[in-house]
Amino acid sequence: MKTWRLGAFGGTFDPIHSGHLIAAASVRNALELDFVFFIPTGNSWHKLPGPLAPAMDRLAMVDLAIADYEGFMSSSVDIDRHGPTYTIDTLTDLQAQWHGENREDEATWFFITGADALADFPNWKEPEEILQRAQMVGVTRPGFTATPGPLLTGHSIVIEAATPDIASSDIRLRVREGRSIEGLLPTVIADYIQTHALYRETPVGL
Ligand code: ATP
Ligand code: MG
């Protein structure tokens, strides 16, 4: 019987970039996780406008970006489920699908977010139920302070990591304006964005 240590890293990943990869690798090392699952959202509910690239493109980019990393996997649970993405559903579905090498294997789960997301945690759907299923992990992000709210006392871990100051929204803007995105994300992803003509249009509502 083995007790696995597993991370769930949800995000829009529109597109995935080096900040995500470094954040996940830092958390994986610090907490000695066997695997980190990258889980692209279905429809975005907290961002207007929602994701700009179709879910299948965002998932394809995640798969391309993580291919060279040990211990990184993707999951389409949030894309397969209809409706908006809530972390409680992400964890419920991922944990229901997961099985170890043997039937008796168990897992300790961690839900990974950037420092910008931790402060808002009490407003998430069913935060107490989330904490029954996973410990929250906030990874530091340039420009944001990790401020776990009262609900998270004793239930969260802050990982200080040398994450770069990169954001998907900045990458999308650069592509739209024809500026370089070199160094912000793996070359395969820059190539994918170009081949599939992503992020060229001005989003509706902006
Ligand atoms: P956007 O600008 O569109 O919001 P983003 O770069 O914040 O995109 P998301 O898909 O929103 O990317 O983020 C997924 C998760 O990764 C979130 O928990 C976010 O806090 C975290 N994250 C994103 N970029 C970084 C970074 N540079 N360093 C640390 N964490 C990050
Ligand atoms: Mg974000």
Residue 51 Cβ inside 6 Å of ligand 1? The answer reads no
Bridge partners (DSSP) of residue 9 are: 38, 112
Helical H segments across the chain, by residue range: 18-31, 55-66, 77-80, 87-97, 115-118, 127-133, 168-176, 187-195
Does the residue 197 lie in any domain?
Answer: no
Residue 15 Cβ inside 6 Å of ligand 1? The answer reads no
Which pLDDT value is given to residue 45? 52
Which pLDDT value is given to residue 19? 98
Q: How far is the C-alpha of 42 from the C-alpha of 84, rounded, in Å?
A: 6
Structural tokens at position 52: 């700009």
Tell me the pTM.
0.95
Q: What is the dihedral of CA 187, 190, 191, 195, to 10 degrees?
A: 170
Three-state DSSP at 10 gives strand
Peptide bond just before 51 cis, omega within 30 deg: no
Does the residue 201 lie in any domain?
Answer: no
Three-state DSSP at 97 gives helix
Q: Which amino acid makes up residue 148? A: P
Does the residue 129 lie in any domain?
Answer: yes
Counting the structural domains of the chain, the total is 1
Residue 174 Cβ inside 6 Å of ligand 1? The answer reads no
pLDDT in tens, the chain (206 residues): 999 999 999 999 999 999 999 999 999 999 999 999 999 999 755 555 667 899 999 999 999 999 999 999 999 999 999 888 999 999 999 999 999 999 899 999 999 999 888 888 989 999 999 999 999 999 999 988 877 777 888 888 999 999 999 999 999 999 999 999 999 999 999 999 999 999 998 776 55
Does the residue 65 lie in any domain?
Answer: yes
Does the residue 101 lie in any domain?
Answer: yes
Which pLDDT value is given to residue 140? 94
Does the residue 96 lie in any domain?
Answer: yes
Q: What is the dihedral of CA 66, 82, 125, 112, to 10 degrees?
A: 0
Domain containing residue 102: 3-164
Does the residue 147 lie in any domain?
Answer: yes
Q: Compute, in angstroms, the gap from residue 140 CA to the centroid of ligand 1.
A: 11
Ligand closest to CA 166: 1
| Atom 8 of ligand 1, residue of closest alpha carbon | 168
Could you tell me if 136 and 113 are in contact, meaning their C-beta atoms sit under 8 angstroms apart?
A: yes
CATH of the domain at 52: 3.40.50.620
Residue 14 Cβ inside 6 Å of ligand 1? The answer reads yes
Does the residue 102 lie in any domain?
Answer: yes
Could you tell me if 115 and 160 are in contact, meaning their C-beta atoms sit under 8 angstroms apart?
A: no
Give the rounded distance of the alpha carbon of 145 from its chain centre: 18
| Atom 14 of ligand 1, residue of closest alpha carbon | 11
Bridge partners (DSSP) of residue 72 are: 36
